[in-house]
Amino acid sequence: MLISEAFAAGTPAGTPDLMGFLPLVVIFVLFYFMLIRPQMKRAKEQRNMLAAIQKGDEVVTTGGELGKVVKVSDNYVALEIADNVVVHVQKQAVQSLLPKGTIKSI
């Protein structure tokens, strides 16, 4: 016969199973501390900021509208973006709170 028969090789007798999973565990730990944890912290800060919005605050929306809060409800915020011009936006659209007097300085 020209072709010899192939037999399965024996199992390697070197590395235990824990050492095979160690790189995956290290990658998961790095992933948690570099991506997941900071994102959860930012989300918590955003939730706290939205819960603390009150009448008279100056805010910027995700669409870039700058305005003063004139009314706050459970899901919506009324912003005065110019004299006698009031728009209603969802609370989640508020991106950040601004220091008092920011609108006047612009």
The CATH number of whichever domain residue 48 belongs to comes to 2.30.30
For 94-106, what is the mean pLDDT?
A: 92
* 8: pLDDT strictly greater than 80: no
80/68 Cα distance (integer angstroms) = 5
Q: Give the pair of three-digit tokens for residue 35.
A: 């991506």
* pLDDT above 80 for 11: no
User: For position 5, what pLDDT does the model report?
Assistant: 77
State residue 13's pLDDT score.
Answer: 57
Determine, yes or no, domain membership for 5. Answer: no
User: What is the predicted pLDDT for the residue at 93?
Assistant: 96
Residues with Cβ < 8 Å from 94, sequence gap 6 or more?
49, 50, 53, 59, 60, 61, 62, 77
User: Per-residue pLDDT averaged across 38-43, rounded?
Assistant: 96
Distances (CA, A) of 79 to 19, 28, 101: 58, 43, 15
> Is there a domain that residue 36 lies in?
yes
Residue 48 lies in a domain: yes
CA distance 76 to 89: 6
